[in-house]
């Protein structure tokens, strides 16, 4: 139920804003910590949940915020220590809402126009409402003011807590900056990501490149809670989605056909990739840095192949002496990199430019899903392939963007790159060196942004996290 509300007489002579259910009044607060609301006697504290959208009507501004905490308060500290006759409803009723009351903490996020239809939209809240300002649950009009409506071409992603109002997103604005989907295992990150990607496909403002660790987004995914399969992007959008795979056998076993099978050559691997794999491969800093010495000796295209051949021939000790690198560290690097020779998607030399193939599909307005098959459980393989392909695609996007700026070509189509286990790519130790850290800091300078999915956003470098424009958690 909504009702018009005239704030302290300040709204006389103009349209009153539609408000939701009255909750109570502001009794204290600060910009940093939010405000505390004392609930009205007829409002049950059990009705209010953390995450509920709330509006606060000040004398001159209306604030949109979210409930961050729910509590109980009292005016008499003796209530904690004095037994009350809990079986006497008259005493309980007399105390509720007067001596004993409910409180909610609200963090104001936005300042909203008092009159709907103003050209001025919501802005970041830089102040708080005064004492005794009234608090209300957010109305449908409030939610549409902040998030937009489906009628305006926005994408309906769900409904707010305990509301039937449609919560929509402006996908054109969403893809302009990197975004993050965060939450513990089992909280629906994959479902939400699939929904966001479906919206991006439907909207058509950008293409997406999805590094699909567990084959959840291509043809079909798995609803682990209900134990049923759900349609993937390929089933829903058909020719708009191209599927690449590292594991053709895995796709055949599932009865699926893919558009391209990916093979990556040792000639594509760079020392920067090894640096990123330090934690996954348990390499020392000395061992990882040795890759740069190897590139200097054997050349950019052949350093890894020649290094592995040298190891097979039993000449690592001599090579270590020549490079003036610790022999144990070089041996460790050899043993770790040797494991990639057992992966079917790795070949000694690849003449096929996988990144160029993907860009062809992306420039046609298609969306690319790279399925890892049985290699999805190999963290090192996921990191290596994602970093290697993204670096090459980013390089081509930079070239295309610079050509467009010089009038020699067209703007590259905006691209959203989706990565899982993002803290492996963007932790403080490696974020400044990886291509994903570079993309995050560039914002949309070269028309490339990220969608990062992670259980541990705390593991992501704080500077990178500050560049995430929209967080879903």
DSSP 197-249: HHHHHHH-S-EEEEEETTS-SSSEEEETTTTEEEE-HHHHHGGGEEEEES-HH
Burial 66-97 (b: 16+ CB within 10 A, else e): bbeebeeeeeeeeeeeeeeeeeeeeeeeebeb
In this prediction, residue 209 carries a pLDDT of 95
Per-residue confidence (pLDDT) for residue 378, from 0 to 100: 87
Identify the CA nearest to 102 among candidates 69, 145, 70, 146: 70
Residue in the block written with tokens 């809240």: 125
Q: Which helix (H) or strand (E) holds 358?
A: helix 354-363
pLDDT at 7 over 50: no
Give the max Cα distance, the chain: 92
Please report the pLDDT score of residue 150 as a whole number: 86
Summarize the confidence of residues 95-102 as an average pLDDT. Answer: 79
> Average pLDDT of the chain?
85
Unique residue bearing structure tokens 């709204």: 11
- Decide if 242 contacts 260 (C-beta within 8 A): yes
CA pair distance 345, 261, nearest whole angstrom:
9
Question: What is the rounded CA–CA span in Å between residue 354 and residue 473?
Answer: 33
Residue 399 structure tokens: 């070239």
296-334 confidence digits (pLDDT tens): 999 988 999 999 999 988 889 999 999 999 999 999 999
| For range 78-98, the mean pLDDT | 70
pLDDT for 99 equals 80
- CA 385-387-388 angle, to 5 degrees, is 65
Nearest Cα neighbor of 161 from 20, 12, 285, 302 is 20
Rounded mean pLDDT, 353-366: 87
The strand pair at 207-212 and 415-420 is best described as parallel
* pLDDT computed for residue 411 by the predictor: 86
Output the six-digit token pair for 356. 């160029």
Distance, CA of 352 to CA of 297 (rounded, Å)? 25
- pTM of the shown model: 0.82
The tens digit of pLDDT for each residue in 209-238 reads: 999 988 888 877 776 666 678 888 898 898
- Closest C-alpha among 29, 209, 23 to residue 105: 29
> Which CATH number applies to 172-263+352-472?
3.40.50.300
Res 18 pLDDT > 80: no
Q: What is the pLDDT of residue 225?
A: 65
**Which one has a higher pLDDT value, 105 or 431?**
105
Return the closest-CA partner of residue 348 out of 263, 440, 259, 468.
263
Question: What is the chain's alpha carbon radius of gyration, rounded to the nearest angstrom?
Answer: 28
Give the per-residue pLDDT at 2. 42
pLDDT at 115 (0 to 100): 62
Chain centre to alpha carbon of residue 301? 34
- pLDDT at res. 12: 36
Residue limits of CATH 3.40.50.300 in the chain: 172-263+352-472
Percent of the chain with pLDDT strictly greater than 90: 36
CA torsion sign for 437, 441, 442, 448 is positive
Residue 15 pLDDT level (bands cut at 50, 70, 90)? very low
* Strand pairing class (62-74; 53-57): antiparallel
Residue 113 has pLDDT above 70, yes or no: no
Q: Is the pLDDT of residue 9 over 60?
A: no
pLDDT at 31 over 70: yes
- Average pLDDT value for residue range 38-52: 91
| Range from 24-38, 265-279, 379-393 that averages highest in pLDDT | 24-38
- In the prediction, which pLDDT does 275 show? 86
Ramachandran angles phi, psi of 338, nearest 5°: -60, -30
pLDDT in tens, 235-290: 889 889 999 999 888 878 877 778 888 889 898 899 988 988 888 888 999 999 99
The predicted pLDDT at position 68 comes to 95
Please list, in sequence order, all residues whose beta carbon lies within 8 angstroms of the beta carbon of residue 91, skipping any fewer than 6 positions away.
84, 85
Check: CB of residue 369 under 8 Å from CB of residue 233.
yes
pLDDT band at 8 (very low <50, low <70, confident <90, very high): very low
Contact predicate 310/316, CB 8 Å: yes
pLDDT of residue 128: 94
Most confident of 24-38, 354-368, 373-387: 24-38
- Do 30 and 128 contact (CB within 8 A), yes or no? yes
pLDDT band at 180 (very low <50, low <70, confident <90, very high): very high
């Amino acid at each position: 139920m909504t009702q018009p509300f005239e704030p302290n007489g300040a709204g006389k002579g103009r349209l009153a804003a539609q408000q939701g259910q009255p909750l109570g009044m502001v009794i204290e607060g600060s910009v940093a910590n939010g405000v505390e609301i004392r609930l009205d006697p007829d409002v049950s504290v059990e009705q209010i949940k953390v995450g509920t959208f709330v509006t606060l009507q000040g004398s001159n501004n209306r604030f949109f915020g979210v409930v961050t905490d729910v509590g109980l308060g009292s005016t008499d500290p003796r209530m904690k220590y004095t037994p009350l006759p809990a079986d006497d409803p008259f005493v309980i009723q007399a105390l509720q809402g007067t001596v004993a009351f409910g409180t909610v903490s609200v963090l104001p996020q936005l300042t909203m126009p008092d009159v709907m239809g103003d050209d001025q939209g919501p802005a970041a809240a830089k102040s708080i409402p005064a004492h005794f300002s009234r608090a209300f649950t957010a109305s449908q009009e409030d939610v549409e003011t902040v998030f937009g409506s489906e009628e305006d071409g926005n994408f309906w992603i769900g409904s707010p807590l305990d509301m039937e109002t449609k919560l929509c997103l402006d996908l054109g604005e969403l893809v302009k900056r990197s975004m993050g989907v965060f939450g513990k295992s089992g909280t629906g990150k994959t479902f939400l990501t699939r929904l966001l990607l479906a919206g991006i496909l439907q909207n058509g403002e950008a293409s997406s490149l999805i590094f699909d660790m567990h084959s959840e987004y291509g043809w079909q995914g798995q609803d682990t809670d209900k134990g049923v399969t759900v349609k993937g992007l390929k089933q829903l959008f058909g020719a708009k989605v191209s599927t690449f795979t590292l594991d053709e056998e895995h796709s055949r076993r599932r009865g699926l056909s893919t558009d391209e099978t990916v093979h990556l050559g040792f000639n594509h691997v760079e020392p920067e990739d090894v640096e990123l794999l330090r934690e996954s491969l348990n390499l020392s800093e000395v061992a990882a840095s040795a890759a740069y010495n190897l590139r200097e000796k054997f050349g950019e295209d052949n350093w890894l192949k020649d290094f592995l051949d040298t190891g097979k021939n039993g000449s690592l000790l001599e090579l270590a002496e020549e490079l003036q690198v610790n022999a144990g560290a070089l041996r460790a690097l050899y043993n770790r990199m040797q494991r990639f020779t057992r992966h079917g998607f790795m070949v000694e030399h690849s003449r096929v430019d996988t990144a160029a193939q993907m860009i062809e599909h992306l420039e046609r307005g298609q969306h690319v899903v790279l399925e890892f098959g049985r290699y999805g459980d190999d963290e090192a393989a996921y990191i290596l392939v994602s970093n290697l392909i993204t670096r090459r695609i980013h390089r081509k996007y930079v070239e295309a963007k610079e050509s467009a700026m010089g009038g020699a070509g067209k703007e590259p189509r905006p691209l959203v790159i989706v990565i899982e286990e993002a803290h492996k790519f963007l932790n403080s130790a490696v974020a400044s060196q990886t291509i994903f850290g570079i993309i995050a800091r560039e914002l949309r300078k070269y028309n490339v942004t990220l969608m990062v999915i992670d259980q541990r956003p705390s593991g992501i470098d704080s500077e990178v996290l500050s560049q995430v424009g929209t967080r879903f958690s």
